[in-house]
Each structure stands twice: as C-alpha cells, then as structure tokens.
Structure 1
Amino acid sequence: MNTVLVNAAVNFGILAALSALLYAAPGPLLSPPAVPFGVRVPPDKVHAPAIETQRRRYRGPLLAVAAPVTVLALTLGAVFDTPTAGAFGALPLCAGAAVLWVRAHRSIARAKEEDGWYDQARQGAVTDTSLRTAPVRFPWVWTLPAVVVIAVTVVVGAVVYPDLPDRIALPRRSAGGTFYREYTTSVWIAFSLVLGQVLITLISVGTVHGLLRARADLDVARPATSVARHRRYLAVTARSLMGITALLNLMLLGMSALMWSDTRSTPLMLVVIGVPLLAALAVVTYLILRVGPSGSRLPETADEENTGLVPRDDDRFWHGAGTIYVNADDPAVLVPRRVGIGWTVNVGNLRFLVIAASVVAVATGLTVVLAVS
C-alpha cells in the first residue's frame, strides 16, 4: 500500500509540475512580455486582443489535455506498480502543448503582419561593449562546494575500494520499476559517478563562463538601466548555476555511497536523489519568481528617460515557433531565450557546432569505456 501511495505521489507530482510549467509558459512568469508565443511584438502590443485571445485558446485546451493524461498515468502507475508512468504521461502532454503553441504562434505572427504592428515603430538596437572589456567576474568561490563534494567522493571511494566485492550492482529503471545489473568491479565502474561529477562541473563552469559573455537582452527604450540590471542578473544566475552543480554532485555522492555499500533500499534511493533535486528545483523557482526572464523582476536602480525606440523585429532568425535561433552572421554562441528563462544556443554559429561535437565525442568515449569495462 505504501508503494502504491509513493508511486501515485511521484506520478502526480511530475505531471502537476509539468502542467503548471506549460500553463505558465506563454505568460510573463516564464517568457519576456515582448515575445508572446515566440513572436516579437512592439511594447504597446503586448496586451493586444489577438495575443490575449491566443493565451486563452492555449491554456483552456491544455488543461483539458492535462486532466485525462494525469488520471491515466495514475491508473497505470497503480496497475504496474511503477513511479515512471508520470514520465510517460509527460510525452502526450508536451505534444499537446506543442501543437497549441504552434497554433498560437502562427496566429499572432499573422496578426502582426496583417495589422502592420511595426509599420510606425522606430526600431533600434543597443549593445554594451563593457560586457566584453569588463565582464561580470566568474564566481569562483561558488565553485568550491562542487569541487569539495567531488574531493570527498574521491577520498571515500579510495578508502572503500580495496574492500569492494568482485562485482558491483548498479540500479537501472524500467517500466516495471528498479532492477540492478551487476558489473565486474573496476576503477572505471566504482568511480563512474565521480566521472559524472567531474563532467557536470566542467560543463557548468564552461556554461557559466559563456553566459557571462553572452549577448545581453537590453531594453532599447532604457539602455543604461537595463545594462545595470543585466549585470545583476548575470551575477545571480551564475551563482545559482554553480549552486545547482554542487547539489547534483551531492546527489551523485549519495548514489556512489549506495553503490559501494550495496544498499538497495528504494526509500533511501528516493531520498538520496529527491532531496538534492528538490533543492535544485527551489533554486530554479527562485530564479523564476524573484529574478524573472533576463532579470525582468530585479529592482531598477536608476531612473532613465525613454528613448522611444522598440526592439528590432528579428523573427526571421527564430524557427520552431520561436524556440530555435539560427543566424550564421551573429558571432554570439548564446542568446537570450524567447521561451522560458535563460539562454539558448545559436545553431548557426560554427563555434557552437564544434563545441557540441566535442561534448558528444567525450560522452561517447566514456560510454564505450564503461561498456568495455
């Protein structure tokens, strides 16, 4: 009975959180107001009737899809005794949201073109060269917790390694629940999660380093004010990402301890994985509620006269209903998202393609090494 309740709670939690996220996606909580459904619009059209209509047409059907999907996932989770039904239920829910999003995107884009929303607007662009010449400093102090957790994991692993059995069991997930697969004990297997810690930390450091030099989403109407706010946004985001990295490393430390001690307790596994993930979710929630997309909720520290300019209409570079940026002439690898908080990559940038190929090569190499071992 306890297992059934736990599975139901996990499945419901997954779908409830995802439904709330998808429901809030087109609003100012997760997307910049000037790009509803991924379409760039002038500031005076943010609450245009065409946009508000599409928000209602998106959210109503989304809730209508979420309800039966949740009921079905809870039923399957109870029948097959698995907490993964919620993850499978997420697929049709995301598919339905994508269809509704594309419909809203096309309707708003058509209204913008037919009504000439940009015909009388004075378009402009602004940049801050000091982000290159004097960038926000990397928060090295906030990297120390992640490094310390790795060091602790290595030391504990080195102490217990001589006493490990000839074979080590690693947990795997399937539709039927958790099962364990045994591997011959080796350094690569015993310290496989340490490699994961190192890889996560290196990716996080590289990502933060890139974000601090990424193209800023500045307000052409109030450039000086937006520059100051963007710098605070970068500092808060960088510290938060390194904090999340430490939490993920802590989770892998706990999983390593369970592996080395051959502990197969499902409740303990849920605690080891769930607590750090919930803490990381709390950090993300803080960024959403208190910081906002591109730092839009951070308090302004200066008063500046409005220039009367509006951001340039750059829809031609955004594909996939405003989710994919492709511009080979833009030197920026990372650009502010139109959907959600944070940044996305410039798929048309050669440097991104090289970096992506390198990451894939390293991940593939580690997978092959572990498989051979």
Structure 2
Amino acid sequence: MNTVLVGLVVNSGVLLALGATLYAAPSPLFNPHSVPFGIRVPPDKADAPEVAEQRRRYRALFLPATLMVTVAALVIGAVLDSVAVGGVAAVVLCVIAAALWLRAHRALARAKERGNWYAHVRQGAVMDTSLRTDPVRLPWAWTVPSLVVVVVTAVAGAIVYPRLPGVMALPARSANGTVYRELTTTVWTAFSLVFAQILLTAVVIGTVAAVLRARADLDVSRPRSSAARHRRHLALTARSLLGIAALLNLMLLGLSGMMWSDSRSGALLTLVIGVPLLAAVAVSVPLVRGGPGGGRATPESADGSDGSGGSDEGTGLVPRDDDRHWYAAGTVYVNADDPAILVPRRVGLGWTVNLGNLRILIVSAAVLAIAAGATVVSVTVG
C-alpha cells in the first residue's frame, strides 16, 4: 500500500470524524440549551416541536452529504494520486454544515416571531457582584509545568547551539504528506520553537485571565445555583487550558529536539506530535462533558439545591431576548453598549469576543502586528 493510499484512508477517517462532530453540532452538548441554532428562546421552548424539527432536518440532510463527500474525496484522491483532496473535502463539509445551520437559524427566527414566544414571559438579567469583588483566582501553580518545559527547551537549545550544522530541517505538512523544510541555522531559526513556546504560554495565561473576568451567563431563574456552578466551571476551565498549554509546549520541545538532531524519523514525529495531542484531548473531555457554562457538570436537584447546602428558589424570569446583538447565525456578537470583552458563545463551547468593544479591536490589531513583524523578521533573518 503506497503512501498516498495510506494518506487517503487516514483522510477518510478524519472526514468521517469531522462529519460526526458537525452532525452533533445542534445538540445541547455543544450549545446552550435555550439557544438552539443561535436563536434565543424561552426555556420552555427549547424542546418545542419547531426546534426538534429543525434538528431533524439538519441531520437528515447532513448525514448523506458527509458520506457522499467522503466517498468522492477518496475516489478523486485516488485518481489524482494526491491527498490534498482531503483538505478541500473538509472545507466542503464545513460549508455544507454552515449552510444547513443558517437555514435552521432563519426558520427558527421566523417561528419565534410568528408564535410571539416572548409575549407572556417575564424577561430579566442577573449579575453576581462577588465575581468582581471576590473573583476566581488564576491558578498560578498550574503555569509552572509550561514554564519548566520552556526553560528546559531553552537551556537544551543553548547547550547544543554551538554544535549545530549550518542547515537544519523542520518538518512541515504538504499535499503529499510530511516534508522537511531546510533552514539556515541562526538564533531565530534554532530557537524558533522556543519563541513559539513563550508566545503560546503568554497567550494562554492571558486568555485564562480574560476568561476569569468574562461576563457570566447566569441562569436568571436560579441565580444562586448557577453562580456557584459558574465558579466551578471557571476553575476547571483555567486548569484545563493551562494543562493543555503545558502539553503543547512538550510537543514543541520534542520538535525542537528533532530539528536540532536532524532526525527525520516518521515514527518519532508521529510520537512527538500524537501523544501530547491525545493527552490534550483527554484533558478537554471534562469541559465537553460539562457542556456550555458547565451546565451539565452539576445538575440541580428538584428542590432547587445549589449544591452547597443552600436553596435557590425560582425567580420566574427568563433570559432577555438579545438576538439583535448576534449576527452570522448566532456566531458573532456586536454590542457597543456592553463593556464586556468576552461573552459566552451561543454556538459551541467557551467564549467569544464582543466586536463592538473598541478595546478588543485595538488588542487584536496589536497582536496581528506583532505576529506579522515576527514572521517578517524570521523569514528575513532565516
């Protein structure tokens, strides 16, 4: 079995895995329960017949599309003797899923408007001020593994740098699998992955700090229990992200070692990349199981217990209908009147940025400028 055929088989498995993930996208596993397809609905409408019908139609159309695209990619790739078709097929699957999502989003928006779903409910908002006066602290102890790996990589690089050859090889992906790109040995190229470790660690720590200060999407019907759950979710998220950063830094340490030793072993490369990535996936499993905001991690009891021995009587309120601030089928948030930089996502897990906040635009521009400048310097010097 030649390399291209093996690559096509692997690509088919990746496409099926991607298809399975996108097939499950409308599930509350990946989205807030009362925001199906990015449309805010009252909690009692989250499982309405209209919502169930749109989920059924999305999956009924996407499943055969996944199978057809996967088979087509396998056949076309075999005819053209190229694995690059797999990347194109993955993009096609994402486009199909986005189109079906948008279709369902618009259908639910019309059903919500026709049924006037918010006519007879009391809307409200709730805020836990203790998240500002007594916020969840950044677990600095969990940054130590990343920092240790960075220091070990830098020290190892400093030791071997005087004995490095004039040209080094760095593994890179291509249309026909892994190739090795030769680089002139300089401080910038020899320590390029060390710089990547430093940038990765700084970005993850900054992201965790921002997430811990992000706006909480609390349940207005039971604010006390949802605030306690939010705190537990923040602590788990912070530890998980910092753990994943340490694993990715470990992967970069392995890649640096391969580059410095001029090792081009495919088995070793698979081990260096695969083991940390699999471990990172394992670390993220509790976050996925907990669902958006950790809502499924600590289910509330029937009597409203908040899990801390107290009770949380229902307020009778439902979250405010804020669809007007969300665009692109519920994936983009723009609200200039909202001071929050990060807000809980409507589609998928985690948080998204408020593009109406001027501060995030300035920070984004600065990060892009730094990344572009570093790339130019690396290419010029290398």
Same fold (TM over 0.5): yes
Indicate yes or no: 2:325 matched with 1:325.
Answer: no
Indicate yes or no: 2:343 matched with 1:335.
Answer: yes
Kindly provide the amino acid, as one letter, of the partner of residue 304 in structure 1: D
1:297 aligns with 296
* Shift in Å, 1:129: 1.3
Q: Give secondary structure in 2 for the equivalent of 1:335.
A: strand
Distance 1:217 1:363, change over 3 A: same
Q: Give secondary structure in 1 for the equivalent of 2:179.
A: strand
Kindly provide the amino acid, as one letter, of the partner of residue 188 in structure 1: W
Correspondence list, 1:307-326, <5 A: 307-326=315-334
* Shift in Å, 1:284: 2.3
Distance 1:362 1:9 in 2: 39
CA contact (8 A) 2:83 2:176 kept: no
Correspondence list, 1:232-243, <5 A: 232-243=232-243
Q: Give secondary structure in 1 for the equivalent of 2:120.
A: coil
* Shift in Å, 1:258: 0.9
* Shift in Å, 1:78: 4.8
* Shift in Å, 1:226: 0.4
Q: 1:367 aligns with which of 363, 372, 375?
A: 375
Indicate yes or no: 2:258 matched with 1:258.
Answer: yes
CA contact (8 A) 1:81 1:177 kept: no
Q: Give secondary structure in 1 for the equivalent of 2:343.
A: strand
Correspondence list, 1:1-373, <5 A: 1=1, 3=3, 6-78=6-78, 85-289=85-289, 291-299=290-298, 300=300, 301=307, 302-373=310-381
* Shift in Å, 1:74: 3.1
Kindly provide the amino acid, as one letter, of the partner of residue 259 in structure 2: M
Distance 2:276 2:3 in 1: 22
Distance 1:83 1:232 in 2: 44
* Shift in Å, 1:85: 4.2
Kindly provide the amino acid, as one letter, of the partner of residue 274 in structure 2: G
CA contact (8 A) 2:125 2:319 kept: yes
CA contact (8 A) 1:80 1:176 kept: no
* Shift in Å, 1:86: 3.2
Kindly provide the amino acid, as one letter, of the partner of residue 297 in structure 2: L
Distance 1:73 1:81 in 2: 11
Distance 1:229 1:127 in 2: 14
Alignment: residue pair count: 372
* Shift in Å, 1:7: 2.1
CA contact (8 A) 1:347 1:353 kept: yes
CA deviations 1:287-331 (Å, max 9, x no partner) are 112x11101112141532111100000000000000000001100
- Gaps in structure 1 of 5+ consecutive residues: none
Distance 2:152 2:77 in 1: 37
* Shift in Å, 1:31: 0.3
Q: Give secondary structure in 2 for the equivalent of 1:173.
A: strand
Kindly provide the amino acid, as one letter, of the partner of residue 336 in structure 1: P
Distance 1:274 1:324, change over 3 A: same
* Shift in Å, 1:156: 1.1
CA deviations 1:239-291 (Å, max 9, x no partner) are 000011011111111111111111112222122112111211222232112x1
* Shift in Å, 1:88: 2.7
Moved more, 64-73 or 146-155: 64-73
TM-score (norm 2): 0.94
Distance 1:271 1:258 in 2: 11
Distance 2:324 2:28 in 1: 23
Kindly provide the amino acid, as one letter, of the partner of residue 326 in structure 1: V
Distance 1:282 1:11 in 2: 22
Q: Give secondary structure in 2 for the equivalent of 1:101.
A: helix
* Shift in Å, 1:57: 0.8
Kindly provide the amino acid, as one letter, of the partner of residue 310 in structure 1: V
CA contact (8 A) 2:4 2:176 kept: no
Distance 1:149 1:167, change over 3 A: same
* Shift in Å, 1:4: 5.4
TM-score (norm 1): 0.96
Moved more, 270-279 or 100-109: 270-279
CA deviations 1:25-74 (Å, max 9, x no partner) are 11110001100000000011011111111001101111111101112333
Q: Give secondary structure in 2 for the equivalent of 1:307.
A: coil
- Gaps in structure 2 of 5+ consecutive residues: 301-306
